[in-house]
Amino acid sequence: MLITLALISGAGLGSMYGLLALGFYVTYSVSNTVNFAQGSSMMLGAVLCYTFAVTWRWHPALSIVLALVLCALWGMLVERIAVRPFVVRGSNAWLMATVALGIVLENVTLFVFGKEPRNYPSVLADTPVEIAGFSLQPLQLIIPAVGLLTAAVMHAATRHSKAGKALLAIVQNADAARLMGIDVARAISLSYAASTVFAGIAGILIAPLFNVSSDMGTLFGIKAFAVAIVGGITSAWGVILAGLLYGILEALITGLLGSTYTQILTFAVVILALALMPNGLFGRAGVQKV
């Protein structure tokens, strides 16, 4: 009974890690850079949606859409000021710059949104429903469903839309893509927008369960990066699967041993996994032709 509960809540959280990790994948595959403000981007989605839907009482659908649009703009801003200036100079300082930008966002939110965690009331997280003898909140089932759906939509978009195919082309060979007339700079910008939209979706989904606060995303972002690496940051389905595995592992450890050991053991497993398979579970070693 405890195991099944752990599997269900683990799948929910795991799909959120997977969604955040998908964001890491999208930017890395196109530009070899990642947005280390991913955790804060998740918080941004939750905070914006809270402000629109709860503080200003706008329609929920409008709030969600607007929050995600603003997340996309934030992603493009991150790329423009914290990544592009360093990449064009061949520097790796975008690593620290995106971290710093994430911290700035968190603290700005602290001042503007407030110092306390707030509850996001949602009809999906209020009264539990009985399913197969288990008491669950509807949101706990919706979260993994939306997570997997988002990944599936992204997969389909890259295979069947022009923009998606352009993205794949850049992944294979950026210079050749540029020669074929594909706007690589714009594609990178869009990939950052996509990554923060994924983060925003994750934030909005878990807000009713976890409460909204300025620092809700920090630990999530770190874990999602670990998930992205373990999943093989060059494989989209790999990171999703790794996220699910990580979430379930976390929930099982908490369920069986208590939450005191959770962080220790899950990160120990991450280290072990990387020691055994350095390219991640589903990634492949990059081959550099000389």
What does the binding site for other proteins look like in residue numbers (CB under 8 A)?
A: 1-2, 5-6, 9, 110, 115-119, 121, 126, 128, 135-137, 209-211, 213, 219, 251, 254-256, 258-260
Give the residue from 70, 85, 87, 81 showing the smallest Cα distance to 31. 87
**DSSP structure string for 156-221:** HHHHHSHHHHHHHHHHH-HHHHHHTT--HHHHHHHHHHHHHHHHHHHHHHHHHHH-B-TTTTHHHH
Q: What is the smallest separation between the CB atom of 90 and other proteins, expressed in angstroms?
A: 38
Q: What is the smallest separation between the CB atom of 136 and other proteins, expressed in angstroms?
A: 7
Token readout for 277 is 């398979």
Nearer to other proteins among residue 115 and residue 289 (C-beta): 115
Q: How far apart are CA 267 and CA 290, in angstroms?
A: 36
- β-strand partners of 221: none
Nearer to other proteins among residue 108 and residue 180 (C-beta): 108
Q: How far apart are CA 24 and CA 192, in angstroms?
A: 9
Token readout for 151 is 């990944």
Q: How far apart are CA 184 and CA 164, in angstroms?
A: 12
Q: What is the smallest separation between the CB atom of 262 and other proteins, expressed in angstroms?
A: 8
Nearer to other proteins among residue 182 and residue 252 (C-beta): 252
Q: What is the smallest separation between the CB atom of 212 and other proteins, expressed in angstroms?
A: 10
Nearer to other proteins among residue 104 and residue 168 (C-beta): 104
Nearer to other proteins among residue 2 and residue 153 (C-beta): 2
Write out the H or E segment, with its range, that includes residue 123.
none
DSSP 56: S
Nearer to other proteins among residue 96 and residue 268 (C-beta): 268
Token readout for 166 is 């352009």
Residue 264 zone, left/alpha/beta (φ > 0; ψ -120 to 50; rest)? alpha
Nearer to other proteins among residue 243 and residue 280 (C-beta): 243
Between the alpha carbon of residue 46 and those of residues 1, 27, 39, 53, the distances in Å are: 31, 22, 11, 10
Nearer to other proteins among residue 100 and residue 209 (C-beta): 209
Q: What is the smallest separation between the CB atom of 253 and other proteins, expressed in angstroms?
A: 10
Cβ–Cβ < 8 Å for 253, 267: no
Q: What is the smallest separation between the CB atom of 57 and other proteins, expressed in angstroms?
A: 16
Q: What is the smallest separation between the CB atom of 204 and other proteins, expressed in angstroms?
A: 16
DSSP 211: -
Q: What is the smallest separation between the CB atom of 42 and other proteins, expressed in angstroms?
A: 14
Q: How far apart are CA 140 and CA 130, in angstroms?
A: 12
